[in-house]
Amino acid sequence: MVDLLGNIDTGSMAIINERFFDTDAGFRISAQKALKRLPVRADIFLLNTDYFEQPAPDVDPMLVHEICHGLDQLNLAPPGQITDLDRHNAQVIFEAYDPEAWSAGHNGRWGQYLAWSGRRSVELGRTASISEFIKLSIPAYDRPNWQDGAIREK
């Protein structure tokens, strides 16, 4: 990982890289609470540089995935109403996830935010289907129990 803003000292970057060296993306409010050796207060947003070359429609869902972590960590409500459809799809997301990834903040509320975002993406014409949005937002290795057709579109 590299510090794009240049405001994290090299020792702190080394601590961050020990934990996140193989990460596609991540978002952590008050990262010093999770990284006990981190000597500075920091909110961290990570995106693997591999994504820099991909088209925005393929990357945007991953960015939204990480923003949903921020909403969850700050205990903020989504900007719109969570529906029964969103709750159903959040449960599908949760069940598809690798249990080892649950400790990284992939919980029920985060899933509702992500499901809501997928529905809104379709409503705004940015994504063809909620399922497509969800699949783009979660790397395949993190969703080994994915069931095609389980995400409801309506």
Q: Judge contact between 90 and 115, C-beta under 8 A.
A: yes
- pLDDT tens per residue, range 31-46: 788 778 888 787 888 8
Q: Each residue of 73-91: pLDDT tens digit?
A: 999 887 789 999 999 999 9
Tell me which residue of 68, 80, 60, 83 sits closest to 132, measured CA to CA: 60
C-alpha–C-alpha distance, residues 94 and 41, integer Å: 30
d(CA 112, CA 86): 6
Best-predicted range by mean pLDDT (25-34, 84-93, 141-150): 84-93
Give every CB contact of residue 27 below 8 A, 6+ residues apart in sequence: 44, 45, 46, 66, 67, 69, 70, 73
In the structure, what pLDDT confidence band is assigned to residue 125 with cuts at 50, 70 and 90?
A: very high
81, β-bridge pairs: none
b/e map 55-75, b = 16+ CB within 10 Å: eeeebbbbbbbbebbbbbbee
Quote the CA–CA distance of 16 and 44 in Å, as a whole number.
Answer: 9
Which residues, 6+ apart, have CB-to-CB distance to 113 below 8 Å? 68, 71, 72, 78
Q: Are the CB atoms for 57 and 127 separated by under 8 Å? A: yes
Cβ pair 143, 97 in contact under 8 A = yes
Q: Which helix (H) or strand (E) holds 44?
A: strand 44-47
pLDDT in tens, 91-105: 999 999 888 776 678
Q: pTM to 2 decimals?
A: 0.83
